[in-house]
Amino acid sequence: MLSPVNEITADHKAPAPPSLSRAQGKLRISFKRRGPQTVLDDFYQQGCMKARRPRTAPHDICEIVTINTAGGLTDGDHLAQNFIWDTDTTARITSQAAERIYRSRQQDAHIETRLIIGKGASAQYLPQECILFNGGRLRRANHVEMAKGARLVATESLVFGRTAMREEVTAGKLLESWRIRYDGELIFADGFHLEGPVRKHLNRTAVANGAGAMATLLCAGEDVDQFEEPFKQAASALCNAQRQVGCSLLNKVLLVRILADNGALMRTALSDLAKEMLNRTSQTEKADLPKVWLC
């Protein structure tokens, strides 16, 4: 006699997915002053995270390009980045390409970034955008410690699927945060959390009003108030039916936010505003965007 088929009981739980090897990467890079120039001091890379210094002219800013050789992140992958600017240094961090957050089985992908900016130093943190694919889960945290007299120009951007490929993010998770301390004082704390039906949340007027891409541009330092009015005017000029741009001054932080229907519209606005910010805060006559942004 054949044994009866076991019925699935109400308390039956699906088995956990098998454990897989995960992508892990660490970077620790610091800059120091050598005469009038900023040069590399400490350089450490581990796992899938690599960094390269492109060839530049003597008068160009010291620049580091980060590379995730895993090609993207998913399901428990973890990147940790530490960048340190010594006193009176000037240097830029950017990334080779857009980071991709692929569909996860259960766990979040993690990106943790820490920026330590010494007295009188000028830091630029300008990574390219993250692309969140359907089912992707991302935790992204940025911690900044600024000494008195330091300055930071930073960007962070996100694309919810590629509209040219007709991709739509109907489900997933995004949890990202910024914490900036200036001379030991917390001057900026920001968090954003989406989970579950991502597209439904983004369509809400108070969240993203249907946007498919978003970006943050910020400048932190003692004298950022002088840029408030020009950037409010620039933000207003970029607004249209497919893109909204706003600017506000919060203590020692000038903050610009961009919402756009797609990544191309977001990137155009972010590039224009970032270039303007770099020109206004640069110690040289003209400051350009990282060349990898234009590839």
Q: What pTM was estimated for this model as a whole?
A: 0.91
Whole-number pLDDT of residue 282:
81
Whole-number pLDDT of residue 159:
96
* Residue at 4 is within a domain: no
Whole-number pLDDT of residue 10:
47
> What is the domain extent for residue 218?
24-294
DSSP 108-142: PEEEEEEEEE-TT-EEEEEPPPEEE-TTBEEEEEE
Q: What is the pLDDT along the chain (295 residues), one digit of tens a residue?
A: 444 444 444 455 666 666 777 899 999 999 999 998 999 999 999 999 999 998 877 778 999 999 999 999 999 999 999 999 999 999 999 999 999 999 998 899 999 999 999 999 999 999 999 999 999 999 999 999 999 999 999 999 999 998 888 888 999 999 999 999 999 999 999 999 999 999 999 999 999 999 999 999 999 999 999 999 999 999 999 999 999 999 999 889 999 999 999 999 999 999 999 999 999 988 665 678 999 998 7
Residue 164 phi/psi, 5-degree rounding, is: -65, -25
* Residue at 19 is within a domain: no
Whole-number pLDDT of residue 12:
55
Whole-number pLDDT of residue 55:
82
User: Whole-angstrom Cα distance, residue 62 to residue 86?
Assistant: 13
Q: Which helix (H) or strand (E) holds 273?
A: helix 263-281
Q: Structural domain tally of the chain?
A: 1
Whole-number pLDDT of residue 78:
96
- In 3D space, the residue among 141, 156, 135 whose CA is nearest the CA of residue 74 turns out to be 135
Whole-number pLDDT of residue 152:
98
* Residue at 32 is within a domain: yes
* Residue at 232 is within a domain: yes
Residue 171 phi/psi, 5-degree rounding, is: -150, 155
* Residue at 13 is within a domain: no
* Residue at 94 is within a domain: yes
* Residue at 260 is within a domain: yes
Angle between helix axes 263-281 and 228-238 (nearest 10 degrees) is 160
Whole-number pLDDT of residue 185:
96
* Residue at 187 is within a domain: yes
Whole-number pLDDT of residue 7:
44
